[in-house]
Amino acid sequence: MARRALSASSWVVATIGIGLACLHGVSSGPTDSPFAIGAIALASICVGIGWIINRPPLSALATSLISLLCLVAALSVSLRSSSTSTVETLVLLSQLTLVVGLIIFVRNRLGQRASSVVPDGLIVGLGAWVLIWIVLVQPAIQESTSSSLTILRASTLGAAMVVLFLLATLLFSDTAPSPSVGFLGLAVFLGLTGIVLRAMSFRQDFSITSTTYTTPFLITCGFAAAGFLHPSVRHIYTSGTSRTSPPLMTRLVTTTASLIVPVVLLAITDPFDTQDRIVRTVSVSVLAIVVMIRVIQSVRANARTQDHLMKSALTDSLTGLPNRILMLEHIETAVQQAWRTSRQPTVLFIDVDRFKNINDSLGHSIGDNVLTLVASRLIAAVPSHASVARIAGDEFVILDATTESPTQSVLLAESVLDAFREPVNTPEGDMFVTASIGVAYSPKGVDLSADDLMRHADTAMYRAKAAGRNCIALFDDSMLEKVTKRLDVETALYRALERKELHLVHQPIIDIELGIVVGFEALMRWERGDGDIVPPTEFIPIAEETGTIVPLGSWALNDALIQLRHWIDTNVVSPSTTMSVNVSPRQLHDPQFVSIVSDALAASGIPAEQLWLEVTESVMITEATQALSALRRLNSLGVRIAIDDFGTGYSSLSLLQKFPIQCVKIDRAFVQDITTQEGARNLVRTIIAMANALGADIVAEGIENKDQLSVLASMRCNKAQGYFISRPISVADVPAVVQQLQDIDAWRARTSF
Ligand code: C2E
Ligand code: MG
Ligand code: MG
């Protein structure tokens, strides 16, 4: 509050100061007019208040006060006595104090930043000095009767030009001025104006009165008062923040004018005498030297900027390694030079495994540390002639132009993989970072571009990732075919739904003892436009990765339930028949999933208890909390959850207990060996005991023969599904198959247990 009041009053004081000074100027009264006295009194009070409340740095206050007091004293002495030399000494003293104050100020406030703008400030100061010398000082010397007085006045103007130089330095710097700095800068500038007007008043050819030149001095008082009253004066020496746009235009215009004006004046006027010639020559020489320094400085800065721009366009800012563009250039050169030699340049594509986890869990700055460490390890791991680049986030590329065989390429990759064996030290402790490496080389006689080679290494890297990470994969052409095929499937899958290329087949699930159909599992089929049938094991993982599984899965759910409704309504199946629908983890993470399920139930009119959602064990492991909450909500709707392919994942007993599971589907892999291997039998027995302990239903999958079914029946497994009972069948075939399966006598004859 107090701060606001002070800053508002500083603006008011500045305005009143300007007002009083203008009234003084317009009134053409004596130098000590009531307006002048009012302005000085106001300034004294405000500086006093500012000093008490704001406690500005003492040196700033002292130099400003001494300088102001000297000026005011000089004005009052000139009114009361005719001691001109005292007046001139006081005015000179005011400028010298200001020079000292400004030097301290510029050093404190601008620090190192000042050096870049000092030459420009000097050009302004020197240019103004040449102008002042020719227009004011030299004529004054010619007309003067008292040499001591002339020396004093010339010295004052010289000091004033030093003040101008310091002020220009302050103005040109890229440090943003605070309000106090602004007010005090204006105060100094108006003081300079007053000094110059006063010097002009001594010449007969200018009719400038004492009232005229005291006016800027009075404005100086107002601005100085405002500057000390504003709360920002407390931190007047603190190096401020950088301006958003540095005053480049002001700098350019002012320095150019400061060069042109003196040059023109020197060209159109002749020196009066030798002393004038010496002063002109020295001043212009110094000006020329400063301009030369400035030009050299500019050229160097320009070259540095260009160099920096070139470097940043071709290197990675974090590690300082070449970036993708530069690496591609290196590869291109290597491939061209290898032509007609025995060399087969090798490119390694390295991707840090699960780097996102490091970034997400430990933060980006630790992530950056890890990347820098990885970069230095890669450099150390490869021969000195090889180049290492960082081409994106956690992706590095290595080029060795001298390899001559695939064996050498793989050896190089192995030495790089070895570099990851040691733990990485971070502030959070040691951690193991691994990488997947794709290897590609440019075979003899094959025309490959740098882009191709890098892409091949990238493809191989994906193979290494798929093979379980932390390993090497060497590129071969079949990978490219796979990638192309996958891309084709990905694009076609987006359209599959709207082109009605998808349909469901249904595999009956039976009650082993009774031999009746108690449910179906809906399985998706994709018949592409060209007649190709894509198996779900091929397209479901792609749909999961690309997210297409969300709309596909919701379509399957609706279609399956509507179909079941139809079969119940037409008495094909009993009203309590269930429908199992496979659900992928991606669907469970969709916030809309629960409402999609309840809408599908509502649309079909199937009771929630008759819907089984089959999820795999992986759901319990990755992002378990989100999946758990979705499953709990589904469970509360009445929907049942089955754990599919049980035994093939890595779920722990504690996870099984935590998840709401009402059915365990024993994977085909265990059922297959149940008749031949004691171990498989024991395992299935254990799974059944565990499911019983959890209070869950059991379905055995993949029954392919009578023996498997009879072993399962003897173990009290109550439900089964498999080719022996029925293959997954089309909607049209369901009534006939169900009828055939319901025939209990035929069932007994088939199974006889
Ligand atoms: P799943 O859920 O474990 O489905 C059982 C798979 O085993 C089916 O393969 C089925 O045809 C096959 N099968 C059934 N009985 C036997 C048998 O006796 N012997 C042999 N060898 N195989 C048998 P399918 O239809 O190729 O489906 C493969 C997988 O694709 C499914 O495994 C499921 O994980 C996924 N899938 C299928 N449809 C969908 C779907 O609509 N959504 C999602 N998310 N996944 C689906
Ligand atoms: Mg299933
Ligand atoms: Mg299964």
Spatial contact of 663 and 696, defined as CB atoms under 8 Å apart:
yes
How confident is the prediction for the chain on average, in pLDDT? Answer: 90
Query: Distance, CA 724 to ligand 1 centroid (Å)?
Result: 15
Give percent of the chain with pLDDT exceeding 70: 97
Q: What is the pLDDT of residue 447?
A: 84
Q: pLDDT (tens digit, 9 = 90+) per residue, 600-643?
A: 999 999 999 999 999 988 887 766 788 899 999 999 999 999 99
Average pLDDT over residues 324-343: 93
User: Is any atom of ligand 1 closer than 6 Å to the C-beta of 395?
Assistant: no
Query: Distance, CA 647 to ligand 2 centroid (Å)?
Result: 13
Q: Assign 82 a pLDDT band (cuts: 50, 70, 90).
A: low
User: Is any atom of ligand 1 closer than 6 Å to the C-beta of 509?
Assistant: no
User: Is any atom of ligand 1 closer than 6 Å to the C-beta of 180?
Assistant: no
Q: What is the pLDDT of residue 623?
A: 64
CA distance 256 to 271: 24
User: Is any atom of ligand 1 closer than 6 Å to the C-beta of 704?
Assistant: yes
**Which of 335-349, 389-403, 597-611, 654-668 is least confident?**
654-668
Q: pLDDT (tens digit, 9 = 90+) per residue, 200-257?
A: 888 777 778 888 888 998 999 999 999 999 999 888 887 667 777 777 888 889 899 9
Measured from the Cα of 581, ligand 1's closest atom is 41
Query: Distance, CA 562 to ligand 1 centroid (Å)?
Result: 20
The better pLDDT of the pair 298, 509 is held by: 509
The better pLDDT of the pair 507, 5 is held by: 507
Query: Distance, CA 523 to ligand 1 centroid (Å)?
Result: 6
Which region, left, alpha or beta, applies to residue 386 given φ > 0 means left and ψ of -120 to 50 means alpha? Answer: beta
In the predicted structure, residue 311 carries a pLDDT above the cut 80: yes
Q: What is the pLDDT of residue 205?
A: 76
Q: Where in 482-594 does DSSP place strands (E)?
A: 502-511, 517-527, 533-534, 578-582
Q: Assign 480 a pLDDT band (cuts: 50, 70, 90).
A: confident
Q: What is the pLDDT of residue 124?
A: 93
In the predicted structure, residue 753 carries a pLDDT above the cut 70: no
User: Is any atom of ligand 1 closer than 6 Å to the C-beta of 60?
Assistant: no
In the predicted structure, residue 111 carries a pLDDT above the cut 70: no
Average pLDDT over residues 59-73: 88
Spatial contact of 124 and 258, defined as CB atoms under 8 Å apart:
yes
SS3 632: helix
In the predicted structure, residue 349 carries a pLDDT above the cut 90: yes
CB atoms within 10 A of CB 400: 22
In the predicted structure, residue 273 carries a pLDDT above the cut 80: yes
Q: Assign 1 a pLDDT band (cuts: 50, 70, 90).
A: low
Measured from the Cα of 667, ligand 1's closest atom is 3
**Which of 110-114, 116-120, 543-547 is least confident?**
110-114
Q: What is the pLDDT of residue 113?
A: 64
Calculate the alpha carbon distances from 61 to 13, 67, 232, 590 in Å: 18, 10, 14, 67
CA distance 164 to 247: 17
Helix axes 477-496, 536-546, angle to 10 degrees: 80
Average pLDDT over residues 293-307: 90
**Which of 353-362, 395-404, 628-637 is least confident?**
353-362
Going by C-beta distance under 8 Å and a sequence separation of 6 or more, which residues neighbour residue 253? none
User: Is any atom of ligand 1 closer than 6 Å to the C-beta of 644?
Assistant: yes
Average pLDDT over residues 391-408: 95
In the predicted structure, residue 752 carries a pLDDT above the cut 80: no
Q: What is the pLDDT of residue 75?
A: 81
**Which of 195-204, 307-316, 346-355, 470-479 is least confident?**
195-204
The better pLDDT of the pair 112, 735 is held by: 735
Q: What is the pLDDT of residue 532?
A: 84
**Which of 412-416, 690-694, 702-706 is least confident?**
690-694
In the predicted structure, residue 112 carries a pLDDT above the cut 70: no
CA distance 50 to 42: 12
Q: pLDDT (tens digit, 9 = 90+) per residue, 242-272?
A: 777 777 888 889 899 999 998 898 889 888 8
Average pLDDT over residues 585-599: 94
In the predicted structure, residue 186 carries a pLDDT above the cut 70: yes
User: Residue 500: which of 574, 570, 421, 555 has the closest Cα?
Assistant: 555
In the predicted structure, residue 472 carries a pLDDT above the cut 80: yes
